Chains A and B, each alone.
Chain A
Amino acid sequence: MKIIDTSGFSCPEPVIMTKKALKDSPDALTVIVDNVASRENVKRFGEATGYKVDVKEEGSKWTLVLAR
């Protein structure tokens, strides 16, 4: 599965990165985020575009798995 790391980027950049990555990898994508705003926004974007989003907390970061 394709993985993108949005650490260090602030909104709306992580959502833009997610949108772009989903074009190459439309079935599933893992997105690493390092702040609450990015976690919530990427989750919302995934859900609004028809993905099921699974969120796991890992230390100071979160891993979001977007799957159809």
Chain B
Amino acid sequence: MVGLTHTVKTSGCASKLPVADLARILSSIPLMKDDRLLVGVETSDDALAYDLGDGRVMVQSVDFFPPVADDPYDFGQVAAANALSDLYAMGAEPAVAMNVMCFPSCMELEIMRSILLGAQDKVREAGAVIAGGHTIADSTIKYGLAVTGFTTRDRLWTNRGAHEGDALVITKRLGVGILNTMIKAGMADESVVRKSLDSMKMLNRRAFETACSFTVHAATDITGFSLMGHLNEMAEGAGLSVEIDSAAVPVFEEAIEGARFGMNPQGMYNNRDYLEDKVAFASSVTREMQDVFFDPQTSGPLALAMSDEDAVRFVELFGQPAAVIGHFTARKDVAISVL
């Protein structure tokens, strides 16, 4: 059987539209407002948050994309972990999910079944339930989920609440976009395939649950817009800048090597193009490391802003590969400095 990623041009979150085009169109559409809408589209957050009026907050997101794994069951797992991550990034516990599926009418239905089973098992692992969804015939496969979860007013983590002096923690290695391009090009061995899949399939549940014991000032998950794109939103939203210690950032070594050989996905260049003037790199940061920082992630890590003390304790509790990668500072000329 042909691997699913060979049936499509782009994979996973690398298939997002260029952020510059998206921003231009969305800014031309009038904003809808509602007093109970605590988080809407204007802050580019991970999900919407809707006040239920009794202390609880409902959080919703939808995410779908072309295959990012060759095996349909794996793809379903990754798609579910990726969609659920938006809830964890808002401090919400997943409750219900619905399937969104585009599927070629000429393709074996068994493939669809495996995708749905993979997603179901992952959603079950998250303690939530899938009930229904929608399917349409299309020329290529696309799959994802609309997800709903719940949190409370005092545990609604947005991407804009970072305090000056906060430490920034991430909870997974970066570089899966490049690894996936290597896999697609046939330039990766089995161990790279395994590392990429293991990382993308891992729920951000434990990161969320560990973080619940601390005071989280801001949170997001790192996905298609890359570490730099999502940190830019966190910094802009808080009116601060962020300083990153590149040596502290957990990355897949194979992604550095892949970038050197031109295995960067198109989305990496889109991200870099949009963000270049918002980031200052020290001359010691290699071109390949910069590539990884602009690399679109699928089912990437949580990024958490909290006090230094909490951050250090979080990393101790969570373990590898979580790391404190930088700090929020007073606003500078650029949103992000990488040393």
Partner of A15, one of B9, B10, B263, B268: B263
B274 interface residue, CB < 8 Å from A? no
Binds A, one of B26-34, B180-188, B240-248, B275-283: B180-188
Give the complex CA separation of A10 and B273 in angstroms.
Answer: 17
Minimal beta-carbon separation of B173 from chain A (angstroms): 21
Minimal beta-carbon separation of A59 from chain B (angstroms): 20
Residues in A whose Cβ lies below 8 Å from that of B185: 12, 15-16
A-B contacts counted at CB < 8 A amount to 47
Contact A48:B260 (CB < 8 A) given known A10-B266, A36-B273: yes
Residues in B whose Cβ lies below 8 Å from that of A49: 261
Is B10 touching A45 in the complex (CB atoms < 8 A)? no
Is B181 touching A12 in the complex (CB atoms < 8 A)? yes
Is A16 touching B186 in the complex (CB atoms < 8 A)? yes
B103 interface residue, CB < 8 Å from A? no
A41 interface residue, CB < 8 Å from B? yes
Give the complex CA separation of A42 and B259 in angstroms.
Answer: 11
Residues in B whose Cβ lies below 8 Å from that of A37: 264-266, 268-269
Give the complex CA separation of A37 and B272 in angstroms.
Answer: 11
Minimal beta-carbon separation of A37 from chain B (angstroms): 4
B262 interface residue, CB < 8 Å from A? yes
Minimal beta-carbon separation of A19 from chain B (angstroms): 8
Give the complex CA separation of A37 and B267 in angstroms.
Answer: 9
Residue contacts A-B, CB under 8 angstroms, 24 given: A10-B10, A10-B266, A11-B181, A11-B265, A11-B266, A12-B181, A12-B185, A15-B261, A15-B262, A15-B263, A16-B185, A35-B266, A37-B268, A40-B262, A40-B264, A40-B269, A41-B263, A42-B262, A44-B259, A44-B261, A45-B261, A45-B262, A48-B260, A48-B261
Binding site for B on A (CB under 8 A): 10-12, 15-16, 35-37, 40-45, 48-49
